[in-house]
Amino acid sequence: QVQVVESGGGAVQAGGSLKLSCKVSGVNFDLYCWAWFRQAPGKEREGISSIRWGAGRAYYSDSVKGRFTVSRNDMKDELYLQMNSLKPEDTATYYCAGIGEPISGCSGSWRESDFVWWGLGTQVTVSS
């Protein structure tokens, strides 16, 4: 059984930083594309970043490009999201998700139906 557990969320002032982590178990983490999604209150969930297996090419939405950095540690089966220069509009629940096909997918378009493994999310609140 695949388990996906996010951590690292919290409350921060605008301009601050947070680093989210995602621990994955029950699957060969290193073979898959992993992504971060977020859902703000009253809005649809959106993909914001993803990273490929192996050399780990990364993709970012325009809303976070230049401020957020995704990374992975295949030895620890963990995914990370370093978030800098946070804005109030970054307030959301952040989810880690994995594509269901190994060595497949991963792009700058995040179709939710492609992602089969999801965590329960971690809350990030940015105050002005």
Distance from C-alpha of 52 to C-alpha of 54, rounded to nearest angstrom: 7
Q: pLDDT in tens for each of the 128 residues of the chain?
A: 999 999 999 999 999 999 999 999 999 999 999 999 999 999 999 999 999 988 679 999 999 999 999 999 999 999 999 999 999 999 999 999 999 888 888 888 889 999 999 999 999 999 99
CA 59 from centroid of its chain's CA atoms: 11
